[in-house]
Amino acid sequence: MANPSKSKGTSLETWTVRYLAWALQDTRIDRMPLHGNADQGDLIGVMFHGEPVCVECKDTKMPNYRKHWRELKVEMANMDTPYGVLIQHRKGVGVKSLKGMARQMAVFDIETLERFLATHMGPVLGPDYWIRHELANRLRRESKPVPSNPTLVWLPLELFALLLNDGLTLGPDDGQD
């Protein structure tokens, strides 16, 4: 008999891959093979401005954000990347659809979210500065504190995908899901 907790985690990983691959139109995103003590997150192929993003997915009855964030930080170090995100299943929000996945929690410590936003902003000069500035302000406005943890915030996965995609429309250009 399969372990139900492992099955839930596998399902969240699989649907996170499906969602991000669809949103970013990037077929290189996939589940990561385990590396034992040198684990590097649950997904491979998620990139931000040419750097890998460590993605850790958790579907637990009682979210332990602090513990899961510490685990992610170790995996970010193993991956040698400054970018990481914890994808936490939101209670009552299904994961087996693109619409449900768009509403899952993308969790960051404030420092990591600001690192993403600073890189997204890039140089001050440039024709798209105000577009980048508007997205960064929107993400700051819409980030919500993680319950019982003042150093962590979350955004819907859809907004995190929008950041990864530099504010460009998510999904295929032809409007088909």
Judged against a pLDDT cut of 50, whether residue 63 lies above it is answered with yes
pLDDT digits (tens, 9 = 90+) for 79-134: 999 999 999 999 989 889 999 999 999 999 999 999 999 999 887 767 788 888 99
Which has more confidence, 122 or 156?
Answer: 156
The count of C-alpha atoms lying within 13 angstroms of the C-alpha of 36, restricted to the half-sphere facing its C-beta, is: 0
Nearest-angstrom CA–CA distance, 159 and 139: 7
Closest CA to 107 of 87, 89, 92, 91: 87
Nearest-angstrom CA–CA distance, 147 and 145: 6
Judged against a pLDDT cut of 90, whether residue 140 lies above it is answered with yes
CB atoms near residue 41 (< 10 Å): 26
Helix ranges, 37-128 (H): 65-79, 98-102, 110-121
Q: Are the C-beta atoms of 51 and 83 separated by less than 8 Å?
A: yes
Pairing of strands 144-146, 149-156: antiparallel
pTM given for the model? 0.90
Judged against a pLDDT cut of 50, whether residue 1 lies above it is answered with no
